[in-house]
Amino acid sequence: MCRNIRTLFNFEPPATEVEIRDAALQFVRKLSGFNVPSQANQAAFDRAVAAITAEARTLIASLTTTAEPKNREVEAAKARARSAERFAR
């Protein structure tokens, strides 16, 4: 589905601005059906990406948990292992 939309909360190190924007961009692409919008739609597309990026940043900053932060490298290794198993069949 939306491969750039991943869990961004409760990781060490925290999600970067680029990761949050990339997730917002992928979300807007999915909703709009445009990978690259036309010139007529570019401004609306850019506004949507900016608004969703800002809201996602606010959401991530306001969430709380008592769970230990996840290690990015460990989670990436788990994802690679799941992918290898899924595509090995």
Task: Give residue 31's domain range.
Answer: 12-88
Sign of torsion, CA 2 10 56 36?
A: negative
70 found inside a domain = yes
Does 6 map to a domain? no
Answer yes or no: is 4 within a domain: no
**Dist. CA 50–CA 43, nearest whole Å:** 11
Total structural domains in the chain?
Answer: 1
Residue 65 placed within a domain: yes
**Global pTM value:** 0.81
Lowest mean per-residue pLDDT among 48-52, 61-65, 85-89:
85-89
Whole-angstrom CA distances from 34 to 26, 29, 46 are 10, 5, 12
**Who has greater pLDDT, 42 or 6?**
42
